[in-house]
Chain A
Amino acid sequence: MTRCLALLLLAVLWLSPGPGHAEAADEAYAALATTNFDTIRNGVMALSVSGDPRAQIVITALHDGKLYARADRALFIKNADGTFADALTGAAADVPATALKAVRVNNAVRSAVDAALGVLRLFARDTSTRLAAAEAVFLARDPAAVPALDRALAKETDPTVKRRIEQARAAAVLASSDASDADRIDAIATLRARGDLEARSTLGNLTGQTPAVAEAAAAAITAIDRNLQLWSLLESVYYGISLGSVLLLAAAGLAITFGVMGVINMAHGEMVMIGAYVTFMVQQGIKAYLPAIYPANLLIAIPLAFIVAGLIGIAIERTLIRWLYGRPLETLLATWGLSLVLQQAVRSIFGASNRDVDTPSWMSGATELGGLTLTWNRMYIILFAFLVLAALMAALRFTSLGLRMRAVTQNRRMAAAMGIRTPWIDALTFGLGSGVAGMAGVALSQIDNVSPNLGQSYIIDSFMVVVFGGVGNLWGTTLGALTLGIVNKFLEPVAGAVLGKIVVLIMLILFIQRRPRGMFPLKGRAVET
């Protein structure tokens, strides 16, 4: 009997509420040190509302993958220099790294961490941190966050952040079970004003509402959808221009070698590939010897790729192509063989695997423009494509080399009679085209795989663009590339990527049937056979 009583007493003591915060926090910390994802997730959620001063530091460490646990469930944070600190006190701890295991996270834990950090960072000093935090809370749609959001709202002075917090609050209110209908309808109005995909997603999530709320939500979804439809049209145009700029880059060099010189160069794609590998080597070299200028590696790679690909182009012209002028079939076969040789050579030197070319941070991510998501890497490539085009046109128009090139292509014999060394001009023209392809390779290394096959995927498209635009005309190439890009991107959602490509090809064939010399054929007697 006494034993029973003692047990009961023990049980009561065990269950009685302890000194509150501290104990809840301790329990949460212990949960973090387990290997069960559910337990860890609950630990994170408990910690975020425990009010413990170390909570933010520990959760941040977990977020960054720097939180370690020992077998006895003690937690440690790994410092930047590889030493460890006790997670609960912050004091330096002398523990061997072998005794520790990183706390593992999965997607569920990661969501909880993001939401928890969002709530904790709502009161950060930095405006952009607060904005990101509000967005994280918005995505979490956690009703428990409402009190914290209210506090943050009362304190907030920045109008953008304030709006974002209001939206987060609206999402949280809609997710809670005890909000009134009036609150909900207010919340729906807030989300409707936000009007993007996430807002639509939050509204679409609503189930089991009263008729008034459901009606408001349905109306809001319709309004958002109508708005988004308009943006998606613009989006397709942008994607089309972006694809067009890639095609333009790939085809600009070909417009010189094929368009101006009339050489069917099947190894053109390999020049692009070589440009991409030059980028890779430049990155490796800078990483090894000059890490200080690493962010500018692409700017260094561009001229180098031009020079390397250009020199290889000149070498190809001198050793192979000059013997084959006027024999298109032989040129085609010889350059096709050359492209295989170049591919296998690169494969032997660099290995068959893809090479990892870094994207500089200023080219990663995206920016929002209304309902458009514009990715930076594509924007820079569009810009780069037009810069290359402008430079190429200027070179042909204003330099003496350009003048000679035009002279030779327009009338070779007359040019020779005027004292122009046509063989050298041929070599330099081919080198220029190849060099431009090399520069395209630098850009393509940012969006495609740097592998020996990189060029193959662009050679057909490049020929299509040049033929469609009109052989020998850079403006035609530009317009051809943009048209093909936009048509492709409008067809893709409707017909799918595979069928879309086929349709474009058929349309192109029909077009060439009607206008065999492309959109903008060179006029006059200039073109000799």
Chain B
Amino acid sequence: MNPIQPNLSRRGLARLGAAAATVAAMGVVKAATSPAGAQSGEPIKVGILHSLSGTMAISETTLKDVMLMLIEKQNKAGGLLGRKLEAVVVDPASNWPLFAEKARQLISVDKCAATFGCWTSVSRKSVLPVFEELNSILFYPVQYEGQECSRNVFYTGAAPNQQAIPAVDYLWNENKVKRWVLAGTDYVYPRTTNQILEAYLKSRGVATEDIMINYTPFGHSDWQNIVASIKKFGSAGKKTAVVSTINGDANVPFYKELGNQGIKATDIPVVAFSVGEEELAGLDTKPLLGHLAAWNYFESVDNADNKAFIEEWKTFTKNPKRTTNDPMEAHYIGFNMWVKGVEKASSIAPDDVIDAMIGVAVPNLSGGYSAMMPNHHITKPVLIGEIQADGQFNIVSQTPGLVVAQEWSPYVADTKDLIGDWRSPLKCGAFNVQTKTCTAGKKA
């Protein structure tokens, strides 16, 4: 579906005014998106594009709050380039086409220097053409399926090889798992991730009959027979594990059903990629003891930076029970990278910042530095945690070093020869190393 409907873009253009429209049409968008005045007194605007209502509000509201906290902190420390930062918060209401409309508003009307936003892949896909057309910057903080590399997006969440594949490796090595259930919600992230995982497992010699794939709709609440069939699948004699890309609310009834049917982590462990501290907050975790999650950050990471961040967060939200989670850390990294990138470029013009971002490194909260790579993804450690009785994660495994993201999966036939590299001279989001051609995302 093309998210920019004709009437939408007409309205957007009308708002832009004649001058800006001409400039945009000529493709020289640089002038249009850099704030008109750019005098030192005027604040730099930062767009926040997260749903504050609708089904995704549960996850995204937190990210809006963390951005406000980071911006406030930066302002207290003297702002950026001698100017204050100003947050522009919009509510796309979990409505994917509305994301595109709001993105257009943030860039064209509010003239934001950069935007931090989106959660679901479908919302990212919806705003992507807007950011490319108007040449602005989006920081996307959520783990996702990869297979994308846009010049205008900085992916601060994990690519599949920074989350899914290390998790599968962990189960393979530690629990000797030989049979796999890939269970997911029915949309683009789980489907692509499962496609990659299936190819990966088969490349490691897992037979087709040892892989079970199951999709459920958003918000699925009746898991009785799916859990029963997982139990059945797990009784073939080989050690079985569930790799869950079940997203959002549906996790709670899923885990409840696992608990009620008596499937313990020691029998059939479930490793989840979308279940974090936030999701567990609405759940009695006692029956879930030992089920796993793979992330690049856990609230239970034990170091001074993280403790300070959690303290700051609890003070900012005035709620001592608020939890922190992985996408929040991604925004923390992304925001600090953007600040550094802008300082490096001494400009907020998107083209300058995009070029300056590559190579910027900032401390992450898991104890180390994350760096922005030429493929616009960042390096991350991968942590595997087991759910504890108090709803926090007990970190049972951590990759020894940082993992570099593979934006194009080497396990999928169509993309195995592609790389993304936004440095000159290549400057291409999907460069085929076999044919030496840029297949997509070429920017002059």
The 3 A-B pairs of least Cβ separation, nearest first, read: A204-B237, A354-B282, A205-B237
Number of interface residues of A (CB under 8 A): 61
* A209-258 residues at the B interface, CB under 8 angstroms: 228, 232, 235-236, 239, 242-243, 246
Q: Chain B residues with Cβ under 8 A from A377's Cβ?
A: 256, 260
Partner of B214 from the list A359, A448, A496 (CB cut-off 8 Å) is A496
Evaluate contact between A366 and B262: CB separation under 8 angstroms: yes
Within 8 Å of chain A (Cβ to Cβ): is B386? yes
B228 touches A235 (CB 8 A): yes
Task: Choose from A353, A457, A493 the contact partner of B281 (Cβ within 8 Å).
Answer: A353
**Contact: B281 with A354, CB < 8 Å?**
yes
| 0/1 interface trace, chain B 55-78, chain A, CB 8 Å (1 if under) | 101100100000000000000000
* Cβ contacts B231-242/A at 8 Å (1 or 0 each): 110111110000
Please give me the residue from chain A that is nearest to B262 by CB atom.
A366
A190 within 8 A of B: no
Q: Give the complex CA separation of A406 and B244 in angstroms.
A: 50
A362-390 contact mask (Cβ, 8 Å, vs B): 1 or 0: 00111000000101111000000000000
Residues in A neighbouring B231, C-beta threshold 8 A: 197
Quick check: which of A104-112, A409-417, A517-525 contacts chain B, the rest being far away?
A104-112
A375:B249 contact, CB within 8 angstroms: no
Q: In the assembled complex, which residues on chain B have CB atoms less than 8 Å from the CB atom of A448?
A: 221, 252-253
**A498 & B217 in contact (Cβ 8 Å cutoff):** yes
Cβ contact within 8 Å between A352 and B237:
no
Q: Is the CB of A243 within 8 A of B222?
A: yes
- Can you list 22 A-B pairs with a CB-CB distance of less than 8 A? A107-B175, A107-B269, A107-B290, A108-B175, A110-B266, A197-B231, A201-B236, A202-B237, A242-B222, A246-B222, A347-B53, A347-B57, A352-B61, A356-B281, A356-B282, A364-B259, A364-B260, A448-B253, A449-B253, A489-B224, A497-B216, A497-B217
Tell me which of A37, A110, A447 contacts B290 (CB under 8 A): A110
Contact B216 A498 (CB under 8 A): yes
If A352-B61, A373-B262, A451-B249 touch, whether A104 touches B237 (CB-CB below 8 Å) is no
Chain A's closest residue to B248 (CB) is A449
Q: Does B389 contact A (CB under 8 A)?
A: yes
B396 within 8 A of A: yes
* B residues less than 8 Å from A365 (CB atoms): 260, 262
Which residues in B have some Cβ–Cβ distance to A below 8 Å?
Answer: 52-55, 57-58, 61, 174-175, 186, 214-217, 219-222, 224-226, 228-229, 231-232, 234-238, 249, 252-253, 256-257, 259-262, 265-267, 269, 278-279, 281-284, 287, 289-290, 292, 386, 388-389, 394, 396
Looking at the complex, which one of A201, A352, A493 makes contact with B57 (CB distance below 8 Å)? A352
A447 & B256 in contact (Cβ 8 Å cutoff):
yes
Which A residues touch B220, using CB under 8 A?
A: 497
Residue of B at shortest CB range from A492?
B225
The residue of chain B having its C-beta at the shortest distance from the C-beta of A502 within the complex is B217
- Complexed CA–CA distance, A457 and B57 (Å): 16
**A163 interfacial by beta-carbon distance below 8 Å:** no
* Bound complex: CA A509 to CA B272 (Å): 37
Is B224 a contact partner of A378 (Cβ separation < 8 A)?
A: yes
A275 to B44, CA, bound (A): 46
A344 within 8 A of B: yes
Q: Could you tell me the distance between the alpha carbons of A110 and B228 in the complex, rounded to whole angstroms?
A: 23
**A449, B278: Cα distance in complex, Å:** 13
- Minimum CB distance partner of A200 in chain B: B235
Q: How far is the CB of B213 from chain A (nearest CB, A)?
A: 9
Chain A neighbourhood of B236, CB < 8 A: 200-201, 204
Hey, which bits of chain A sit against chain B, CB under 8 A?
37, 65, 104-108, 110-111, 114, 139, 197-198, 200-206, 228, 232, 235-236, 239, 242-243, 246, 343-344, 347, 352-356, 358-359, 364-366, 373, 375-378, 447-453, 457, 489, 492-493, 496-498, 501
Q: Do the beta carbons of A373 and B386 come within 8 Å of each other? A: no
Contact partner, B261, options A343, A344, A366, A489, Cβ 8 Å: A366
Task: Output the residue of A200, A228, A498 with the most chain B CB within 10 A.
Answer: A498
Minimum C-beta distance from B87 to chain A (A):
19
**Which among B61, B238, B252, B292 has the highest number of chain A CB atoms within 10 Å?**
B252
Q: How far is the CB of A159 from chain B (nearest CB, A)?
A: 23
Taken together as a complex, chains A and B put the C-alpha atoms of A353 and B289 apart, in Å, by 22
- Please give 10 more A-B residue pairs, beta carbons under 8 A apart, in addition to A200-B236, A365-B262, A498-B186: A110-B265, A206-B237, A232-B228, A242-B222, A353-B282, A356-B281, A364-B287, A447-B222, A453-B55, A498-B216
Give the residues in chain A near B260, CB-CB below 8 Å. 364-366, 375-377
Instruction: List A contacts of B234 (CB < 8 A).
Output: 201
Specify which chain B residues have a CB less than 8 angstroms from the CB of A111 in the assembled complex: 266
Closest-CB distance, A494 to chain B (whole angstroms)? 11
Task: Tell me if A104 and B394 are in contact (CB < 8 A).
Answer: yes
With beta carbons under 8 angstroms apart, the residue of B61, B235, B261, B289 that contacts A375 is B261
The residue in chain A whose Cβ has the minimal distance to the Cβ of B287 is A364
Partner of B235, one of A107, A204, A451, A493: A204
Residues of A within 8 A of B269 (CB): 107
Residues of B within 8 A of A65 (CB): 388-389
A260 to B261, CA, bound (A): 39
In the complex, which of the residues B52, B225, B237 contacts A203, with contact meaning CB atoms closer than 8 Å?
A: B237
Complex: A451 Cα to B174 Cα, angstroms: 37
Q: Which of A354, A364, A376, A457 contacts B252 (CB 8 A)?
A: A354
Contact A359 B225 (CB under 8 A): no
Cα A452 to Cα B94 with chains together (Å): 14
- With the chains together, A206 CA to B238 CA distance in Å? 10
What are the residues of chain A within 8 A of B386 when measuring CB–CB?
A: 106-107
Contacts of B238 in A (CB 8 A): 204-205
A354 to B61, CA, bound (A): 13
Contacts of B224 in A (CB 8 A): 239, 242-243, 375, 378, 489
Asked whether B237 lies within 8 Å of A235 as measured between CB atoms, the reply is: no
Bound Cα distance from A108 to B52, whole angstroms? 41
Known contacts A352-B58, A373-B228, A496-B214, A108 near B174 by CB under 8 Å = yes
Contact assessment for B215 and A496 in the assembled complex, using a CB-CB cutoff below 8 Å: yes
> Is A449 touching B396 in the complex (CB atoms < 8 A)?
no
The answer for the CA separation of A373 and B235 in the assembled complex, in Å, is 15
A331 to chain B, nearest CB (A): 24
Q: How far is the CB of B182 from chain A (nearest CB, A)?
A: 13
Chain A residues with Cβ under 8 A from B58's Cβ? 352-354, 451
A206-B237, A366-B260, A497-B216 known; A489 and B389 CB under 8 Å? no
Q: Smallest CB–CB gap between A366 and chain B, Å?
A: 5
Q: From A488, which residue of chain B is reached at the shortest CB distance?
A: B222
- Contact flag A457-B221 (CB < 8 Å), given A359-B284, A366-B260: yes
Specify which chain B residues have a CB less than 8 angstroms from the CB of A450 in the assembled complex: 282
Separation of A65 and B389 alpha carbons in the complex (Å)? 9
Which residues of chain B are within 8 angstroms of A457 by Cβ–Cβ distance? 219, 221
Residue ID in chain B nearest A197 by CB atoms: B235
Tell me the smallest distance from the CB of B249 to a CB of chain A, in Å: 5
Q: How far is the CA of A458 from the CA of B214 in the complex (A)?
A: 22
How far does the Cβ of B89 sit from chain A's closest Cβ, in whole Å? 14
Q: In the docked arrangement, what's the CA distance between A239 and B221, Å?
A: 13
Q: Which residue of B lies closest to A202 (CB)?
A: B237
Question: Which chain B residues border A353 with CB–CB below 8 Å?
Answer: 58, 278, 281-282
**Which residue of chain B has the shortest Cβ distance to A378 in the bound complex?**
B224
Q: What residues of chain B lie closer than 8 Å to A246, measured between beta carbons?
A: 222
